[in-house]
Chain A
Amino acid sequence: MSTTTTPTPKGPLGQPLVRREDRRFITGQGRYTDDIVLPGMTHAAIVRSPHAHARILSIDTTAARQAPGVIAIFTGQDVAADKVGGLPCGWLVKNKDGSNMVEPPHPILVADRARHVGDQVALVVAETRAQARAALSLIAVEYEPLPAVASLAAARAAGAAQVWDQAPGNVCYDWHLGDPTATEQALKAAHQIVEIDVYHNRLIPNAIEPRSAIGQYESGTDSYTLYTSSQNPHLIRLLLGAFVLGLPEHRLRVVAPDVGGGFGSKIFHYAEEALVVWAARKVGRPIKWTAERSESFMSDAHGRDVHMRARLGVDKDGRFLGLHVQSQANLGAYLSTFASSVPTYLSATLMAGCYTTPAIYVEVKSIFTHTVPVDAYRGAGRPEAAYLLERLVDKAANALGMDRLEIRRKNFITQFPYKTPVALEYDSGDYHATLDMALAAVDYAGFPARREASQARGKLRGIGFSTYVEACGIAPSAVAGALGARAGLYESATVRMHPTGSVTVFTGTHSHGQGHETTFAQLVAEQLGVPVDSVEVVHGDTARIPFGMGTYGSRSLAVGGSAIVKATDKIIAKGKKIAAHLLEAAEADIEFKNGAFTVVGTNRQKTIGEVAFTAYVPHNYPIDKVEPGLEESAFYDPKNFTFPAGCHAIEVEIDPETGVVTLENVVAADDVGTIINPLIVDGQMHGGLAQGIGQALFEEAQYDESGQLLTGSYLNYGMPRAADFPFFKVGNHVTACTHNPLGAKGVGEVGAIGVPPAVINAVLDALAPLGVRDISMPATPEKIWRAIQDAKAKAQH
């Protein structure tokens, strides 16, 4: 199981084609926002608050205005005077009592108060980037520092500083899901109750391309263009146009060209995007802003930062009876675009995991703090659910003296569709199969011998598992809307056949590392029977593509790919009419296969290229039945989420002298549905696993008590590196999604979702002989060393 293997297919579907976009990326030919140079372009830099919480008493820009190259300086007063709107939140979450969450203002430049280190206070526009940056230190901002709360605990303490007056106790909302009465009864009836307390460490996304934006205003046409490093240009156009600047959409074009990674952090609408568009009209020239890396650390939305406590009731045979989860989520100082939905609809809804627990109740309090806003980051809520459950299940097995795999198997859902007590309906899956596959790949049978060998060398070896399920392709729009989503969740595609048979596909999804240009070309080539090289994929420009929702939540293939299939189906349907005319046959007698329209039972046929040519040169054409041209659009709104699942197995060796963890075996056996390109699927797995292991072992954004970011650079924020990993073993067992035409589920996030609990379970398995029962993420060497010392001290008493 060294790589994903599927029977070698005949057509393009399932071929491990090398990504066509890689050539331009690795030869420096990619075109990112910061590569774009517009005539007359100016450069922006941003004054950011050095305080976590401070009143802004005055801003003196006199000296900076005299500095070389400075064109303009804008402050929060200018923004307010222009009645610029704040950044909106895309999901309204309701409190338990039905009232709305607190939605504080989110100005694009703050006027009176800064609420986190990095909050944007003023914008400098200058002829060059260096001049803009040099002017920053000439702007004298007089701050009155105020008490700050930088952690969940600090924000909830009695007498804590208030981030927003309208949010007493710093609570944004107090939400719940599930049946409290049934859950309490189930817990009362339980043979044993297993409790756990976990903290999901705060992470900084660290896309390789820092965020960048260029705003342009053309007075001749009274129109605006925003180039931005975004995952979803139409969403940005909607939010920026309708909510922030009040610009009509037909006068606002948003382009997200090549984008170097996002992991969720480039979903959201950021202040800088609005600032450069707004200010471009003021100064009459285009304005570019690109984040310094240190700005990325303090202005890209962070991920996770959730504290959870849970009680699981089990019967004496290890069956799960009821689960009660209480969660507190740090949202930071403002509501980022989808912040409110992450700990609630994207996390609490996954609390059944792949188990038949009949009664579940989840309570979520989301909290404001004086920190960078927190929002969706690779996995978005599902890693939190998987981590809580998979740690808890191991703990339950320990408590009952049961095998940790047996307890999982005993509780696995095996009948589909399965309706969970937390609002989802799983359509398909085979959890035993992926677990079996992982056990074989990790050579579980050989583990005891390997453990002994480690022991002989003075090392501790452990193995850990995670059998997770997650939800992708959030949908349907109507259901999400009823739950508070303020956007649709469909996807769009336009397929344009050209007169000589090549194809351009316009997709509403966005690729920022996912390889859509290759995967979608394979998909269309399969559907239309044309060579893969004849298909071009276009994305990321609102002036070219149909209205689409972009890429997040591993939705692109399941939702965007399905829209493409619907559009190609329309092409084929229209092509049949044209072919029937050309072949002088009844439309019902035409079948389409391998790129040709054939009269059933004959060898009379027209290729799709010939049909396309006829459609554009309609001399001999059924003009009374069909219009000329061969271009179709489709919008696809899924009936349900998709539910990728699988088993991740991790084997570690720990040096008890230093606490250093070495990864000996990384195995992922997943069910991501139908696979179009196994090479890309493997790549997505590798990246997701690296990020998930990063969370488990290395990464943590830390603030001190005053709200200063302690991990603001690569000197102290530990990124995972290639040298940290062995070769990954990844493989797939496919059960098709039952409700989309492709059977696809999604692969973008499963690595980051499934693997963190497997890592920690492995670490705890290694440390179990010493009596260590708990360790928090990231499991750093010192943390492990201390746990060993504490356990030793305890053993001596």
Chain B
Amino acid sequence: MRDFNFHRPASVAEAVGLLRKHSGGKFLAGGQSLLPVLKLDMADPSDLISLSGIAELRGIRVEGNTLIIGAGMRHAEVAQSPEVQRTIPGLARLADHIGDAQVRNRGTLGGSLAHADPAADYPAAIVALNGTVQTDRRTIAADDFFTGLFETALRPDEVITAVRFPVPTRCAYAKFGSHASKYALVGVMVAKTADGVRVAVTGAGPYAFRAAALETALGQSFSVAAIEALGENLGVRADDLNNTAEASGAYRKHLIAVLAKRAVAACL
């Protein structure tokens, strides 16, 4: 790890101002991805601008049929929040199974989304729940947020302030974690909403994506049998999926179906 200057602004505006001033700087949220990168000398930011002292990034509230979670909320806080447990229990359970206890006590919702790790859990939730990313200057629909491997629609100086989740009828997340890292080799979030069924897959591709064939099948019949009837026709090609020593594309494709069934079963 190299030397850097550390800033702890009190407001989002101040944070954005600091980043604009220090072009080699980086925002630091919970640090669960950025710090390992720094320790391995894979990034060399001149300045770290911590977002952890900003009150406006905190808080969880329900407005009508929408759950709003501050970007600075830690995974453990989301998991334990009565509001989250009451409105979207599937999201609370997802948060409760991210990484390990240390990660859950430090990592934040906004940090996870901005980092856009292909194997992170939250991306499946925001895509399946048709959430909206609120930043310091605009809102971005979940379907437009992830743009590539570790890439999002965020501008370099843009800060996520909150995420708005429309409350679904039901939802559940099923995850198959890497034994080594606990990251999702595949994670599937299934959500039954007023506007139909949405299915999002994380871990299997460069970023979380919707599984259209599964959505259609489940839209017609929200059942395990509907997925079984699809057989191999999941609308994804094994060759397009991540292929690593720990899990091949073919195995990940198989896991998408298995996990989708488990998520559906958990919803029923």
Residues of A that sit less than 8 Å from B by CB: 130, 133-134, 137, 294, 657-658, 698, 702, 710-711, 714-719, 780-782, 785-786
* A660, chain B: closest CB distance, angstroms: 8
Using Cβ atoms and an 8 Å threshold, which residues of chain B touch A698? Answer: 179-180
**CA of A782 to CA of B1 in the docked complex: distance in angstroms?**
36
**CA of A710 to CA of B246 in the docked complex: distance in angstroms?**
11
Can you list 23 A-B pairs with a CB-CB distance of less than 8 A? Answer: A130-B3, A134-B2, A137-B41, A294-B40, A658-B258, A698-B179, A698-B180, A702-B245, A710-B245, A711-B245, A715-B178, A715-B180, A715-B181, A716-B181, A716-B244, A716-B245, A717-B180, A718-B178, A718-B180, A780-B246, A782-B247, A782-B248, A785-B254
- Those 4 A-B pairs whose CB atoms lie nearest each other, nearest first: A718-B180, A718-B179, A782-B251, A715-B181
Interface centre among A716, A717, A718, A786 (most CB of B within 10 A): A716
| CB closest residue in chain B, given A294 | B40
CB of A130 within 8 A of CB of B1, answer yes
CB of B181 within 8 A of CB of A714, answer yes
Using Cβ atoms and an 8 Å threshold, which residues of chain A touch B176? Answer: 658, 781
CB of A719 within 8 A of CB of B3, answer no
Using Cβ atoms and an 8 Å threshold, which residues of chain B touch A782? Answer: 246-248, 251
Using Cβ atoms and an 8 Å threshold, which residues of chain A touch B3? Answer: 130
Interface centre among A133, A715, A717, A780 (most CB of B within 10 A): A715
**CA of A786 to CA of B247 in the docked complex: distance in angstroms?**
11
* B82, chain A: closest CB distance, angstroms: 27
Apart from A716-B180, A780-B179, A780-B246: 12 A-B pairs, beta carbons within 8 A: A130-B3, A133-B41, A137-B41, A698-B180, A714-B181, A715-B181, A716-B244, A716-B245, A717-B180, A718-B178, A782-B248, A785-B251
**CA of A45 to CA of B168 in the docked complex: distance in angstroms?**
54
Using Cβ atoms and an 8 Å threshold, which residues of chain B touch A294? Answer: 40
Interface centre among B244, B251, B255 (most CB of A within 10 A): B251
Using Cβ atoms and an 8 Å threshold, which residues of chain A touch B41? Answer: 133, 137
* B124, chain A: closest CB distance, angstroms: 18
Decide if the interface of chain B is mainly helix, strand, loop or mixed: loop
**CA of A698 to CA of B258 in the docked complex: distance in angstroms?**
22
Contact code string B171-185 (vs A, CB < 8 Å = 1, else 0):
000001011110100
Interface centre among A134, A710, A719, A785 (most CB of B within 10 A): A785
CB of A716 within 8 A of CB of B2, answer no
Contact code string B203-227 (vs A, CB < 8 Å = 1, else 0):
0000000000000000000000000
Task: Assess A714 versus B245: contact at CB under 8 Å? Given A130-B3, A294-B40, A782-B251.
Answer: no
CB of B2 within 8 A of CB of A657, answer no
Interface centre among B3, B179, B254 (most CB of A within 10 A): B179
**CA of A133 to CA of B180 in the docked complex: distance in angstroms?**
27
* B163, chain A: closest CB distance, angstroms: 26
Interface range on chain B: under 10, 10 to 19, 20 to 34, or 35 or more?
Answer: 20 to 34
**CA of A782 to CA of B254 in the docked complex: distance in angstroms?**
10
Using Cβ atoms and an 8 Å threshold, which residues of chain B touch A715? Answer: 178, 180-181, 183
Task: Assess A716 versus B246: contact at CB under 8 Å? Given A130-B3, A137-B41.
Answer: yes
Decide if the interface of chain A is mainly helix, strand, loop or mixed: loop
A658: which of B1, B183, B244, B255 is its contact (CB, 8 Å)?
B255
**CA of A294 to CA of B40 in the docked complex: distance in angstroms?**
9
CB of A657 within 8 A of CB of B258, answer yes
* A725, chain B: closest CB distance, angstroms: 13
Using Cβ atoms and an 8 Å threshold, which residues of chain B touch A718? Answer: 178-180
CB of B180 within 8 A of CB of A719, answer yes
Using Cβ atoms and an 8 Å threshold, which residues of chain A touch B245? Answer: 702, 710-711, 716
Contact code string B144-177 (vs A, CB < 8 Å = 1, else 0):
0000000000000000000000000000000010
Using Cβ atoms and an 8 Å threshold, which residues of chain A touch B183? Answer: 715
**CA of A612 to CA of B254 in the docked complex: distance in angstroms?**
75
**CA of A657 to CA of B262 in the docked complex: distance in angstroms?**
11
* B231, chain A: closest CB distance, angstroms: 14
| CB closest residue in chain A, given B176 | A658
Using Cβ atoms and an 8 Å threshold, which residues of chain B touch A714? Answer: 180-181
**CA of A177 to CA of B179 in the docked complex: distance in angstroms?**
40
**CA of A786 to CA of B238 in the docked complex: distance in angstroms?**
14
**CA of A520 to CA of B124 in the docked complex: distance in angstroms?**
56
Contact code string B1-28 (vs A, CB < 8 Å = 1, else 0):
1110000000000000000000000000
**CA of A711 to CA of B180 in the docked complex: distance in angstroms?**
10
Using Cβ atoms and an 8 Å threshold, which residues of chain B touch A717? Answer: 180
Using Cβ atoms and an 8 Å threshold, which residues of chain B touch A711? Answer: 245
* B119, chain A: closest CB distance, angstroms: 10
* A437, chain B: closest CB distance, angstroms: 31
**CA of A104 to CA of B40 in the docked complex: distance in angstroms?**
33
**CA of A179 to CA of B194 in the docked complex: distance in angstroms?**
78
| CB closest residue in chain A, given B251 | A782
| CB closest residue in chain B, given A717 | B180
Using Cβ atoms and an 8 Å threshold, which residues of chain A touch B251? Answer: 781-782, 785-786
Using Cβ atoms and an 8 Å threshold, which residues of chain B touch A781? Answer: 176, 251
**CA of A596 to CA of B1 in the docked complex: distance in angstroms?**
62
**CA of A719 to CA of B179 in the docked complex: distance in angstroms?**
8
**CA of A657 to CA of B1 in the docked complex: distance in angstroms?**
43
**CA of A780 to CA of B178 in the docked complex: distance in angstroms?**
10
* B209, chain A: closest CB distance, angstroms: 21
State which residues 119-135 of B face A: CB under 8 Å.
Answer: none
Using Cβ atoms and an 8 Å threshold, which residues of chain A touch B246? Answer: 716, 780, 782
* B14, chain A: closest CB distance, angstroms: 29
* A709, chain B: closest CB distance, angstroms: 11
Using Cβ atoms and an 8 Å threshold, which residues of chain B touch A702? Answer: 245
* A134, chain B: closest CB distance, angstroms: 6
**CA of A780 to CA of B246 in the docked complex: distance in angstroms?**
8
| CB closest residue in chain A, given B258 | A657
Using Cβ atoms and an 8 Å threshold, which residues of chain B touch A133? Answer: 41
* A210, chain B: closest CB distance, angstroms: 13
**CA of A710 to CA of B1 in the docked complex: distance in angstroms?**
22
**CA of A710 to CA of B179 in the docked complex: distance in angstroms?**
15
* B5, chain A: closest CB distance, angstroms: 15
**CA of A137 to CA of B180 in the docked complex: distance in angstroms?**
29
State which residues 77-105 of B face A: CB under 8 Å.
Answer: none
| CB closest residue in chain A, given B257 | A657
**CA of A174 to CA of B139 in the docked complex: distance in angstroms?**
69
State which residues 188-207 of B face A: CB under 8 Å.
Answer: none
| CB closest residue in chain B, given A778 | B179
**CA of A715 to CA of B179 in the docked complex: distance in angstroms?**
9
Interface centre among A698, A702, A718 (most CB of B within 10 A): A718
**CA of A714 to CA of B251 in the docked complex: distance in angstroms?**
22
Using Cβ atoms and an 8 Å threshold, which residues of chain A touch B255? Answer: 658
State which residues 229-247 of B face A: CB under 8 Å.
Answer: 244-247
**CA of A780 to CA of B41 in the docked complex: distance in angstroms?**
31
| CB closest residue in chain A, given B119 | A715
**CA of A702 to CA of B41 in the docked complex: distance in angstroms?**
23
* B187, chain A: closest CB distance, angstroms: 13
Using Cβ atoms and an 8 Å threshold, which residues of chain B touch A785? Answer: 251, 254
**CA of A780 to CA of B247 in the docked complex: distance in angstroms?**
9
| CB closest residue in chain B, given A68 | B3
**CA of A528 to CA of B247 in the docked complex: distance in angstroms?**
59
Using Cβ atoms and an 8 Å threshold, which residues of chain A touch B180? Answer: 698, 714-719
| CB closest residue in chain A, given B1 | A130
**CA of A718 to CA of B179 in the docked complex: distance in angstroms?**
6
Interface centre among A130, A657, A719, A782 (most CB of B within 10 A): A782
Using Cβ atoms and an 8 Å threshold, which residues of chain A touch B178? Answer: 715-716, 718
* A417, chain B: closest CB distance, angstroms: 44
* B121, chain A: closest CB distance, angstroms: 16
**CA of A133 to CA of B2 in the docked complex: distance in angstroms?**
9
Using Cβ atoms and an 8 Å threshold, which residues of chain B touch A710? Answer: 245
**CA of A177 to CA of B77 in the docked complex: distance in angstroms?**
63
**CA of A711 to CA of B254 in the docked complex: distance in angstroms?**
24
**CA of A657 to CA of B228 in the docked complex: distance in angstroms?**
12
**CA of A717 to CA of B179 in the docked complex: distance in angstroms?**
9
**CA of A134 to CA of B254 in the docked complex: distance in angstroms?**
45
| CB closest residue in chain B, given A657 | B258
| CB closest residue in chain A, given B39 | A292
| CB closest residue in chain B, given A715 | B181
Using Cβ atoms and an 8 Å threshold, which residues of chain B touch A780? Answer: 179, 246
